Structure 1
Amino acid sequence: MSDTLPMVFSVTSGKGGVGKTNLSVNLACCLAAMGKRVVLVDADLGLANVDVILGLTPQKNIFHLFHEGASLREVLFATPYGFSILPASSGVGEMLALCTGQKLELLEVVGELEDELDYLVVDTGAGISDNVLYFNLAAQERLIVLTPEPTSLTDAYALIKVLKLTHGVEHFKVCVNMAQDQKIAREVFSRLYQACDHFLSGVSLELTGIIPRDPAVREAVVRQEPFCVSAPESPAARAVDRLATAITHWEPPRQTDGNIKFFWKKLLFG
């Protein structure tokens, strides 16, 4: 057994349409290309699209785990890119809000992967719903994705505010996606930083990645391929690769208690 736990990080946003899922897919792809053992969880449980972006058609998903007695091994789906996904369902109302029992069940199930993983990437839904907060609380690091749009900035702040004031979360990584240039991206981050510094005492933000606006991204989405594979030399692919490299330097927690899984049960009731 390893003396460290897998690194579990969420990729999350206050607003939809910021490229969060595409970023999650490509980060998983880059980490796998580095020889890391990676599982990507599609945690947008009612509006899942990780499989769509990848052009895959898994036969089972998290719905079958909860409602049809499927095992984790039956649901896990290996991609051609060196990582596996835990797919979710789309348009299934029962998955929009997990009950406490389902949250506990998911913790137990994912805990089975503890000794087989280096990274668990959790692609959350957007906003501040119960599911989004749950997955962000269960992660060890949270990567907030926003774009230069004012509404994206406002909604990113709202998500941080809820996690801070309601749950005491204070540390966040930030990625500015679809940036026209570095200057604009840093200005967006600065506005978010200033708002948090002024209104949310104790919050720590770190600008971890800037992904440029790049036509190769849309072209890859249309082809249902990761742009890090279809256009590895594109500006966006190089930027995601740098972000993935930065993630490999995030410190996973030491394993101090064999009964503690890398999804923390105590956070369900904290």
Structure 2
Amino acid sequence: MTTVISIASGKGGVGKSSLAANFAIRLQEIAGETLLVDADLLMANAHILLGHRPKADLVDYIEGEKTLEEVVQPVPGLMSILPGRSGSSVTLEKDGDPLEELVPQIRAMKNGFDYVVVDAPAGSGRGVLNTLSNADHVVIVLLGQATSFVDAYALIKNAFVERRITQFSVVVNMAINKSKAQAVFDNFQRTVSGFLPVSLSLVGFVLHREAIANSSRDCRPIVLAPGEKPLIEKIDVILYRILAGARSPVPQIEVSTSERG
């Protein structure tokens, strides 16, 4: 059975794609065969963050030039990727959401995957909501900024109103420290719970570090850098907490009892 995790944010520039890439690498390493899907059709960057040059992409699939199996490709030494297209001016002449059935079709692949990490486009449009509604776990990436709060709230509101999604995991990214991350989440949770009957769970935080920013610049995810064992362990804990939700089995990730809570 394939477990799908969708990573969303409401706005760009929060480190969503970087987190999605690092999550996918770690899931491949510790849990099972993993596919990273970049659901941004025209401004994709997941393959860039991995230093990968796609042979084909989602636009090729949508336009009928390639099959799904042909656009899914291995990233040597890491996991598989289904890339979007970057910097293209192509016009997609499709009615509705061209990726509405993408996740169900990935689940139905003959040589399927244990885990699929979907890097959802920024925003809260229909395409994003379809991506979230087809996921087993929805992860919201949040920054301690007013614009991030507003856009993440709009995304959660639309996901609830339009798709009746009620369970959201939250990762606070670029946090100053643990207490600041908790404060960011608590503030956001109070705001959301005051208006919407949804459940938010803080599954972890990632500190603001120059090394992480440099890893994106250098097209080499931070979990591949030497000397990053503490960060890798933190990402593994975040993944454990995400997958501990009721809708999927939890893989055998080595996590201490104190870290699970």
TM-score under structure 2 length normalisation: 0.87
Q: Is the 8 A contact 2:6 2:119 kept in 1?
A: yes
When residues 241 and 159 of structure 1 are mapped into structure 2, their CA distance, relative to the original with a 3 A threshold, is same
Aligned to 1:221: 216
Is 1:189 matched up with 2:185? Answer: yes
When residues 95 and 30 of structure 1 are mapped into structure 2, their CA distance, relative to the original with a 3 A threshold, is farther
When residues 222 and 141 of structure 1 are mapped into structure 2, their CA distance, relative to the original with a 3 A threshold, is same
Deviation, structure 1 residue 79: 1.1
Aligned to 1:210: 205
How many Å separate the matches in 1 of 2:151 and 2:30? 33
How many Å separate the matches in 2 of 1:226 and 1:209? 18
Moved over 4 A (4+): 93-98, 251-254
- 2:98 aligned counterpart, secondary structure: helix
When residues 134 and 214 of structure 1 are mapped into structure 2, their CA distance, relative to the original with a 3 A threshold, is same
- 2:4 aligned counterpart, secondary structure: strand
Is 1:230 matched up with 2:225? Answer: yes
The match for 2:176 among 175, 180, 190 is 180
- 2:78 aligned counterpart, secondary structure: coil
Q: Which amino acid aligns with 1:141?
A: H
Deviation, structure 1 residue 33: 1.1
| Higher fraction of helix | 1
Quote the RMSD (CA, aligned, Å).
2.3
Q: Is the 8 A contact 2:97 2:127 kept in 1?
A: no
Q: Which has the higher contact order (CA 8 A, sep 6+)?
A: 1
Is 1:59 matched up with 2:63? Answer: no
- 1:116 aligned counterpart, secondary structure: coil
Q: Is the 8 A contact 2:2 2:107 kept in 1?
A: no
The match for 1:130 among 123, 126, 129 is 126
Deviation, structure 1 residue 129: 2.0
- 1:199 aligned counterpart, secondary structure: coil
Q: Is the 8 A contact 2:137 2:242 kept in 1?
A: no
When residues 203 and 108 of structure 1 are mapped into structure 2, their CA distance, relative to the original with a 3 A threshold, is closer
Is 1:10 matched up with 2:6? Answer: yes
How many Å separate the matches in 2 of 1:101 and 1:159? 17
How many Å separate the matches in 1 of 2:51 and 2:227? 18
Where do 5+ consecutive residues of structure 1 fail to align?
A: 255-270
The match for 2:84 among 85, 88, 91 is 88
How many Å separate the matches in 2 of 1:125 and 1:7? 19
Aligned to 1:151: 147
When residues 166 and 106 of structure 1 are mapped into structure 2, their CA distance, relative to the original with a 3 A threshold, is closer
TM-score under structure 1 length normalisation: 0.84
Is 1:171 matched up with 2:136? Answer: no
Q: Is the 8 A contact 2:103 2:131 kept in 1?
A: no
1:189-216: per-residue Cα shift (whole Å, max 9, x none)?
Answer: 111111111111x210000111111221
Where do 5+ consecutive residues of structure 2 fail to align?
A: 250-261
- 1:8 aligned counterpart, secondary structure: strand
